[in-house]
Chain A
Amino acid sequence: GDSVTQMEGPVTLSEEAFLTINCTYTATGYPSLFWYVQYPGEGLQLLLKATKADDKGSNKGFEATYRKETTSFHLEKGSVQVSDSAVYFCALSEYNTDKLIFGTGTRLQVFP
């Protein structure tokens, strides 16, 4: 079945450092791809999404590009802030369904 693999955490960075969190997927159809963020004690919030190959999703300085040839959707940010500390989940939704399949999550810790 479809699956999502993302890098293990925690990722520890200093403020203003460059961030990459890797995400790869396996899917039989044409999934949509998502990054969700979970701040401490809160539910998941959609950070960005892409619905077809070569689409770039972006929000709050984060971006990710849907790469069909490498089945990847890596999350990047040029300059992280302490307030970006959270758990980040990569997910896909199977074609023409609302079911989300999540990766295991990557904890990001940003220090001043």
Chain B
Amino acid sequence: EAQVTQNPRYLITVTGKKLTVTCSQNMNHEYMSWYRQDPGLGLRQIYYSMNVEVTDKGDVPEGYKVSRKEKRNFPLILESPSPNQTSLYFCASSSPTGETQYFGPGTRLLVL
């Protein structure tokens, strides 16, 4: 089954404790991206990747890092989480340009 998976689905952490949210897709897609969803703001892009070893900032990249060492994986790293990063995070993938993006189930993060 074609899908995008994210782990964990729910995470509670404390300020400053590094964390990683994993994202994996089994559709051999080149393009992957991370979004955060906040009430009243919709979804905003954090980072994206056009292919392996090619990443770039989206609209709200501050406080986040990503890597793309393999085509299927695109982890989101919060080196020092802060409470304003409490949000619902979605990973998405697509191929080729302009085609439908497939979204993961979301990761709900609470930073205390």
Q: Which residues of A contact B (CB under 8 A)?
A: 4, 32, 36, 42-46, 49, 51, 89, 91, 93, 96-100, 102-105
A49: which B residues are within 8 A, CB to CB? 100
Residue of B nearest to A97 (CB): B97
Q: Please name 10 further chain A to chain B contacts, defined as beta carbons within 8 Å, in addition to the given A98-B97, A99-B58, A104-B41, sorted by A numbering.
A: A4-B42, A32-B98, A36-B103, A43-B103, A43-B106, A89-B42, A97-B97, A98-B50, A98-B99, A104-B42
CA distance A52 to B3 in the complex (A): 28
Of A42, A51, A96, A100, which one neighbours B101 at CB under 8 angstroms? A100
Top 10 closest A-B pairs, CB basis?
Answer: A102-B42, A43-B103, A104-B42, A44-B103, A102-B43, A98-B31, A43-B105, A46-B100, A43-B106, A98-B94
CA distance A103 to B58 in the complex (A): 16
Q: Say how far A49's CB is from chain B's closest CB, in angstroms.
A: 7
B100 A100 Cβ-Cβ under 8 A:
no
CA distance A44 to B48 in the complex (A): 17
- Given A89-B42, A104-B41, A104-B42, also A98-B103 (CB < 8 A): no
- Given A104-B42, A105-B42, also A44-B90 (CB < 8 A): yes
Of A32, A42, A89, A96, which one neighbours B43 at CB under 8 angstroms? A89
A interface: dominant SS: strand
B106: which A residues are within 8 A, CB to CB? 42-43
A96 B97 Cβ-Cβ under 8 A:
yes
Question: What are 30 A-B pairs with beta-carbon distances under 8 A?
Answer: A4-B42, A32-B98, A42-B106, A43-B103, A43-B106, A44-B90, A44-B92, A46-B100, A46-B101, A49-B100, A89-B42, A96-B97, A96-B98, A97-B97, A98-B31, A98-B48, A98-B50, A98-B99, A98-B101, A99-B33, A99-B48, A99-B58, A100-B45, A100-B101, A102-B42, A102-B43, A103-B42, A104-B40, A104-B41, A105-B42
